Structure formats: C-alpha cells, structure tokens
Amino acid sequence: MEIKAAETGPAAVAPDASGPAPGKGDVWFQTADVATSSSDRNGTVVLELNSTPSPAAANSLPAVIAPILGVTGPSVLGGIQSQVANQLAQTIFLTTKTKANGVFQRLTDYESFRPFFDLPAYDLLKRLAYSIIPSPMHLVEGPPDFYGPLMCLFTLIALINIRMKTTGITGGGAALLGSSFALVLPYFMLYTILMWGIAALCKTQLSLIEIVSATGYSLFGYVAMMLLSLLIPPAMLFWCILFGCLSSGHLGLIFFKRTPRVRDGAIPFLVGMPVHLLYLLYLGFASAA
C-alpha cells in the first residue's frame, strides 16, 4: 500500500488528471484549513486534516490508519502522544540511571579518595603546628587532605567525651558519646557551609574541599585546648582564649590571603574568626557544665 499526501485550500493543488491517478489500495492524506471527513474513492482512502485537528476530527479517522502508523485505539493522535510520552519517560529513566550509576561508582571507588589521605607524617605534623600560628608565612597551604581534619575531628570528640565523664556529667556511655558528636559535627558542617557561601560571595579563591580541609585543621586548636583543660582544669578559660585566638586567626588569614580584593577579604576574616573563637569558648564551658 502506498501512502500519499495531497493538500487542499487556497495554496494547494489537488491531484487531477495530469498527475498520477490514485489507484486501489493507495492512501491519500489531504490537508485543508478545515478538517473534513474522509471518503472512499474506488478503494483509495482520502484523509483531510488540518495542522491542529479537533478531537472530533481525530476520532473520525478511519481504522485503516492505525495499523499503518503502528498505533491502536479509537484515536490515532492519542496513540501517537502515548508513544511519545512512553519514549520520553524511558529516555529520562535511562539517562538518570546512567548518571546515578556513574556517581555511585565514583563514590565507591577508593582510588578517587586516596590522594586526600596520602599525606606523609612530616607534612601532617607541620600542618598541625601551622594551624595555631596566625602568620601569613605559616599558612596551611598545598593540596588539601582529609587525613588531618578527620583526625582532629574524632580526637576532639573523644576528648570531649572524656571531659564530660571527669566533670561528673551523668549519663550512659552511649548518651555521652552522642552528646560529644552533637557538639562537634553540626558546628563543623554548618561552619564549612557558612564560610563556603561567604567565600563565593567575596570571590575567595578557595574550593569547598580546601575549606573543609582548612576548617578541619583549625580544630587542632580545640584539641589542644581540651587536652590542656583536662591536665590543668583551673586554667580552662585561659586555654580557651589562647588557642581560640591562635586557631581562628590562622583560619581567618587563609580566607583573607586567598581573596583578591582586600575589602572583600576582610568579610570572611571578620565573620569566620569571631564565630570560631566564640564556639571554642562555648565548647569549653558546655563540656564542663
């Protein structure tokens, strides 16, 4: 069967005797400004459609078109729309599945995280020592790592847990450990997000990974304060102020130095330093309350 198209209307030329005559079994599509019903001319099916047929005109199409277009149902256009919708949904599903599999493979591939934990012991000790020296000549720079920050984070949690037990805070071991996590982890995440947003607004040349690394190393001042508070409890306020100023000053200088404009660099410095210092004071008294 041959499918042919003919147009009617002001700018259309209908098939006449000079053109090929429709034979039996040929299907002629005739488009017009106004949709009309189909007719049968000696076995030739003529369909008259416009560009936007009405539902009534679409439902009046002969059943012979359904097998030609590969759709079934009372409405040919409805079948085409259903096929398009199904194909679109399948394409979106396959694309999403492929991207999700790629992200999962990257997260489960330990080789992608290995550079962040491959740090020599000498460099680790140097970065820990520099993190409490507020000097532009001793900033923690170089490729970011997670080894030192995670070590400071979990060491601080362990020291807070020990301090809670030594100060007579009642509660089970699991409850005290949960309280220690609650005092450190939310601050670490919220402070990182806060400084990341400020760095983006001030055009500070620090990535999110570098901010996480710098914030993690700044917790070494917290660790030193908590350790000395356990050894010399009466001087806890002095240790809080001392190491709070040292670690927060170093962290603020990192943001200040990596910001191109001095005026913009003062914003993360004046925001990050007081927040870091005040939370250190709060942490010292909260763990002993």
Residue 48 has what pLDDT?
A: 46
Quote the CA–CA distance of 287 and 110 in Å, as a whole number: 36
Q: Which amino acid is at 154?
A: F
Query: What angle (nearest 5°) sits at the alpha carbon of residue 27, between those of residues 23 and 33?
Result: 120
**Integer Rg of the chain from CA:** 37
Q: Please answer whether residues 235 and 260 qualify as being in contact, where contact means their C-beta atoms are separated by less than 8 angstroms.
A: no
Name the residue ranges covered by the structural domains of the chain.
Answer: 3-70, 81-113, 121-286
Asked if 1 contacts 21 with a C-beta cutoff of 8 angstroms, the reply is no
Predicted confidence at residue 34, as pLDDT, reads 40
The token pair at 54 is: 């009405």
pLDDT of residue 75: 55
CA–CA dist 184, 199 (Å, integer): 22
Q: Are 273 and 248 in contact (CB under 8 A)?
A: yes
Per-residue confidence of the chain (289 residues) as pLDDT tens digits?
444 444 444 444 444 445 555 554 444 444 444 444 444 444 444 444 444 445 554 444 444 455 554 545 455 556 666 777 788 888 888 888 888 777 667 666 666 777 778 888 888 899 999 999 888 777 777 788 899 999 999 999 999 888 888 877 666 667 778 888 888 999 999 999 999 999 999 999 998 999 999 999 999 999 998 888 888 877 888 888 888 889 999 999 999 999 998 888 899 999 999 999 899 888 877 776 5
- Residue in the structure block whose two tokens are 């591939």: 109
pLDDT at 271: 92
SS3 142: coil
Say which residue the tokens 């763990």 belong to. Answer: 287
Cα–Cα distance for residue pair 150/208, rounded to 1 Å: 16
Half-sphere exposure of residue 221: CA atoms within 13 angstroms, side-chain side: 30
Sheet with 3-7, edge to edge strand ranges: 3-7, 27-31, 44-49, 39-41
Q: pLDDT at position 24, please?
A: 46
> Are 153 and 217 spatial neighbours (Cβ–Cβ below 8 Å)?
no
Is residue 146 a contact partner of residue 116, using CB atoms and an 8 Å limit? yes
Q: Is the pTM of this model over 0.85?
A: no
